[in-house]
Structure 1
Amino acid sequence: MKANTNKQNLPSYRICSPNDLGGRIAREGFDYQDHIGVSFCLDLCDKEALHEVWFEHHDDIVLFWNSGIEIVEMVQVKHENLPSRYSIAVLTRRKEGLGSSLLERSLARSNGCEETYFRIVTSYSVDSELEVLTLTLDDPQRTAREAELTLIKEKINSKCPDINSAPDGTTVPQWVDRCFWDKRQESIQAVKDRNLIRLENILSTLGFAVLSDQRDELYNNLLLMVKQKSGPEGISDYKVTQDYLEEVIKNYLIRQKEGAAGASNLEFKLKEAGLGDFVESARELYIAHRLNTLTNRYSQPKELTEVENEVTAVLSRLKGKMYANEISGGLSFYNLCINELEEIRNKFGKSLVSEASIQGMMYMRTNRCIHRFTRPKV
């Protein structure tokens, strides 16, 4: 597909100012988009042509592809409750006058000198008249269904004949030709589950064997990275490159591996949260619990295993609240964790598990990079 003639006088997307920073400021309800963002970061690991992912800069997400020439793909993410499937009527519906429809907002993003493609990521499916757009641009079936693409263009023109072309000259018919409608899972949990499977496969391909809870913690780090780069603090730090992502993953795995046998991860995470005074006692409890676990690996009472599972669930819930900024980290979070552990002892009976042992469970998780007492810096 040839570049538009208007593009030769336009600046690169790499130096253009973004059209709108509203998405950075209003981050409420963006969890679905953030998990989709993680999925594109994972694409950096197994799609060689994809070399950069940008967040809330020019569009919800921007993908930079390079297969001989650089192609910029503008991504809109929609996770909304609709009375019916996406249709041409929904695509062209204007909420606030000229330029406010989903199609027009996507088209308007095409304003740089690079070749621009478009992607609409939705949790709801499309109706039969838009179904051809769910085929990838390189799918031979899409080329074979040219008549359906032509019909979409005609119907859009019939409904909104006054749609302006993009700043770079891209027209509605060209938008249709370059648009991939990417139907994803309907729920946030389903997107996350899919991402976790992919992350585990990627780590396995790279030769890293990790436990499921370590994989989950790495995923939480990647999700937090996306949230930071999409929010106000990411205005000047909104890019994830292949090298950057590889470094994030490698550093996490190195920290997890090097600190697993000793207590260096535990010490680091306590000091990181301003809890250096607790290092010595935490190390003692961790070592005592680890030795006890190794000694009694095959003779642990079933009830104690249930206690450990409860500790895992409770600490995971608390950490999730901290990551979501519902509760703060540091000393207050540490005390909250200690209090919750004591509640678990009360629930199961203090004669079953000692205070030292249940705290040792928490410190073991901390040393394995599964628990922490402040939000990670990515």
Structure 2
Amino acid sequence: MRLQSSRGLKRLWCEEYRVGWYRLTESEPQAQQVTSWPSVDSVPPVEEGGPIARRGFTYQDEIAVGFLLEMIADEQLTKIHFESHDDLVLVRSPMSGTTLRAEYVQVKAGEPEKLWSVADVCQRKKKEVGTSIFEISLGRDRHAEISSFRIVTLRPIMAALMPLSYPFGAEGRDPSCETMVSLQMEMDSRCPGCQSRKRNGSRYWLENCFWDVRHDFHAVERANRLQIFELAQKSGQPLLIEQVDVLLNEMRAWVKGAGDAKWHPDKAKKIVHRDQAVDWWRGRLTKLAQVNVASGGALAEKMADASIPSEVLAMAIELRLDYAAKVRTPTYMPPEESEDLQARVKSTVQSLSADLAAGILDLSGAQFHALCLQKLDALNNERPVGARDQGAFLKGCLYDIADRCLLRFNGLRT
């Protein structure tokens, strides 16, 4: 579609999820005279394809966990939207001034084995205007908050896009420098006349977009673990690696649930406020600090939360106490055998917990508890013929892990 003119230049706005471009003409003064915009918190997304179709979003969820941890640490990051107006929306409240800023984050996990180029950013699906990464991102600029943008990718970028990876305010990001001028010219030639609802174009997008390369899932996971360690250290509550993984899995389940929720009727689940995250964090650290290895109180609470019958709970507490007595008795079994069985239980529990957090397992708390016991029975049956039965020891170890707040039986379904 080519630019047309009437009395002066007709501006063309690109708007995602519509066919063609929105044309501003003198006969549509209401579109040109908008003086107020709705908040990103008050209007539903243009579409909700993300929550409906988001499967296998492990990488995106790990990115989301990182921002959740950032919000706990940074009081200026006041709330996060999960799968609403974009993959993520980070709402910030600067220390100076009252205007909120909304950062629209696109996470690109399914990428070809090549560097990102300007052509990739501007490529339209079936040549339909408004469908390129650039146009969709700029199209988010339609709310009261000041807009900024972020593209998170696994793959690095080519030289032409490199200025977008520099920190804001860096010399290489100056709009007048040669690389930025050339970048804007190329983008304008590929997506001519593209503007947001708020009449901002390619220059605004380039000045306010940060390209964030996160090389792989495991790198992001390691960064999240380190961030949990550092936050706990600052809070005066050092954590064991097992405890870090428990918190990490809980946060994965949290962001997954928020992403899966629909704006109607679960808007409150999609927008997580900083005070919610901070309260959760402090509560979990308090729980971990109060762990009493001998009491079994935490185990009782975990099983009650999972709606496990009281008679099953009573037996679990006995098994755990028997286990605690056995590990303190050197003659019960050789130390290397005890350590091997404990390691097998930890590995099994970690795998099951990760599957539950990722949504691979869709189980109630009681069902998840039963599955854990089935897996331990299978471990016991794999032992050599004639070996002493260690089913009670394995289950006692399981309940000891739960009592140390390293395992929750709560399922995704209630």
Answer yes or no: same fold by TM over 0.5: yes
* Distance across 2 between alignment mates of 1:296 and 1:118: 60
Residues 192-207 of structure 1: pairs in structure 2 closer than 5 A:
192-207=221-236
Partner of 2:90: 63
Instruction: Pick one of 247, 251, 256 that aligns with 2:283.
Output: 251
Q: Deviations over 1:302-344 (max 9, x none)?
A: 1221111111111211222233243523443333322221222
* Distance across 2 between alignment mates of 1:73 and 1:377: 32
Letter in 2 for 1:143: D
- Give SS of 2:125's match: coil
Partner of 1:275: 308
* Distance across 2 between alignment mates of 1:136 and 1:32: 24
Q: Tell me whether 1:318 sits opposite 2:352 in the alignment.
A: yes
Letter in 2 for 1:334: H
Q: Deviations over 1:353-373 (max 9, x none)?
A: 632211110000111122232
Letter in 2 for 1:269: K
The structural deviation recorded for 1:48 is: 3.5
| 128-137 vs 366-375, greater mean Cα deviation | 366-375
* Distance across 2 between alignment mates of 1:145 and 1:353: 75
Residues 1-378 of structure 1: pairs in structure 2 closer than 5 A:
8-67=35-94, 68=96, 69-96=99-126, 97-143=128-174, 146-163=177-194, 165-186=195-216, 188-232=217-261, 235-236=266-267, 237-261=269-293, 262-276=295-309, 277-294=311-328, 296=330, 301-323=335-357, 324-349=359-384, 351=387, 354-375=390-411
Against the structure 1 CA distance between its residues 301 and 248, is the aligned structure 2 distance closer, same or farther, given a 3 Å change threshold? same
| 231-240 vs 348-357, greater mean Cα deviation | 348-357
* Distance across 2 between alignment mates of 1:44 and 1:145: 33
- Give SS of 2:395's match: helix
Q: Deviations over 1:180-208 (max 9, x none)?
A: 1111122x222112211111111111111
Task: Tell me if the contact between 1:322 and 1:374 (Cα under 8 Å) persists in the aligned partners.
Answer: no
The structural deviation recorded for 1:301 is: 1.5
The structural deviation recorded for 1:142 is: 2.7
* Distance across 1 between alignment mates of 2:110 and 2:185: 27
Larger radius of gyration: 2
* Distance across 2 between alignment mates of 1:253 and 1:267: 19
Letter in 2 for 1:369: C
| 239-248 vs 93-102, greater mean Cα deviation | 239-248
> Number of residue pairs matched?
372
% identical aligned pairs: 26
The structural deviation recorded for 1:376 is: 6.6
Give unpaired runs (5+ residues) of structure 1. none
| 123-132 vs 318-327, greater mean Cα deviation | 318-327
* Distance across 1 between alignment mates of 2:262 and 2:396: 36
* Distance across 2 between alignment mates of 1:119 and 1:287: 52
Task: Tell me if the contact between 2:113 and 2:155 (Cα under 8 Å) persists in the aligned partners.
Answer: no
Give unpaired runs (5+ residues) of structure 2. 1-31
* Distance across 2 between alignment mates of 1:74 and 1:342: 48
The structural deviation recorded for 1:149 is: 1.1
- Give SS of 2:159's match: coil
Q: Deviations over 1:263-299 (max 9, x none)?
A: 12211221222212311111111122223334549x9
Task: Tell me if the contact between 1:304 and 1:352 (Cα under 8 Å) persists in the aligned partners.
Answer: no
* Distance across 1 between alignment mates of 2:413 and 2:361: 17
Against the structure 1 CA distance between its residues 145 and 124, is the aligned structure 2 distance closer, same or farther, given a 3 Å change threshold? farther
**RMSD of aligned alpha carbons:** 2.5
- Give SS of 1:308's match: helix
Against the structure 1 CA distance between its residues 319 and 114, is the aligned structure 2 distance closer, same or farther, given a 3 Å change threshold? closer
Q: Deviations over 1:226-284 (max 9, x none)?
A: 11111125641212222111111122223333343311221122122221231111111
* Distance across 2 between alignment mates of 1:6 and 1:294: 77
